[in-house]
Amino acid sequence: MKLTLHIWRQKNPNHVGRMVLYEHNKVNRHMSFLEMLDVLNEELIAKGEDPIAFDHDCREGICGSCGFMINGVAHGPQRGTTVCQLHMRHFKDGDVLYLEPWRARAFPVVKDLVVDRSAFDRIITSGGFISVPTGNAPDGNAIPVPKRNADLAMDAATCIGCGACVAACPNAAAALFTGAKITHLGLLPQGQPERYQRVLNLVVQVKQELFGSCTNIGECEAVCPKEIKLEVIARMNRDYLRASWTRRGDALRNEE
């Protein structure tokens, strides 16, 4: 296969980036998308040129490291698929592809297709924990959890923090990511002690990281490689409102 690739190249955060054209003639339809870039990088290195920088780690769709825009779509055209799981058989000989990094103020470009997603780490650190002492591994049935809650919590827990939801959102909102983390712990018994303080902490941190506001457009759900649903945002908003009114009521009672 032969592909025409327009790839965003940017040396560092202080340089102005630009799209660079590459004609890639050694594409095997059985390659993954990242393997295709590996081959291109080998050619660039052989020519003495700087290879294209992109994030990757497990290449199994688990770690959330990889991710960039392919023809304007986060992770590319296949639904429920990360870039590392995307294979070249989904493209045709002669295709023209545009590769760009995530575009969000909270995700500054580090180099080429690599962005700094440490904002997600700070959101998690601000409140993504539980204080219930675990000790030794408890029996699986020691704490009864309704099956519906267990299923919903596990669905939310599949979030890998790749950032596709932010990149796809016209507002660059982190609502799907934050909602998934809040839903995961908020539906389980172990997460109840900090449930409402957690949502307040996470939402405050999201604002400090300069993510945009959610307007329920739904692009985040459409590109999420784990197909997390918008319902997690509704649960986050519900818990946030309840926590906010509870805190306000406590403040008024203290004034009295």
Write the DSSP string, 72-86.
TEET-SSTT--GGG-
Enumerate residues 6+ apart whose C-beta is below 8 A from 228.
Answer: 155, 156, 158, 159, 176, 180, 221
Per-residue model confidence as pLDDT tens digits over 32-77: 999 999 999 999 999 999 999 999 999 999 999 999 999 999 999 9
- Put the strands of the sheet holding 69-70 in their side by side order: 18-24, 3-9, 96-100, 69-70, 73-74
The boundaries of every CATH 3.10.20.30 domain in the chain are 3-110
The boundaries of every CATH 1.10.1060.10 domain in the chain are 118-255
Asked if residue 231 has pLDDT above 60, the reply is yes
Mean pLDDT on 243-254: 73
Asked if residue 250 has pLDDT above 90, the reply is no
| Residue 83: closest CA among 225, 208, 180 | 225
Looking at 1.10.10.1100, 1.10.620.20, 3.20.20.210, 1.10.1060.10, the CATH number of the domain 118-255 comes to 1.10.1060.10
H or E stretch including 7?
strand 3-9
Asked if residue 256 has pLDDT above 60, the reply is no
Between β-strands 96-100 and 73-74, what pairing exists: parallel, antiparallel or unpaired?
A: unpaired
pLDDT at 143: 78
Q: Report the range out of 93-102, 184-193, 246-255 with the highest average pLDDT.
A: 93-102
DSSP strands (E only) in 83-169: 96-100, 109-111, 114-115
Asked if residue 176 has pLDDT above 70, the reply is yes
Residue range 3-110 in CATH 3.40.50.280: no
Q: Are 203 and 240 in contact (CB under 8 A)?
A: yes
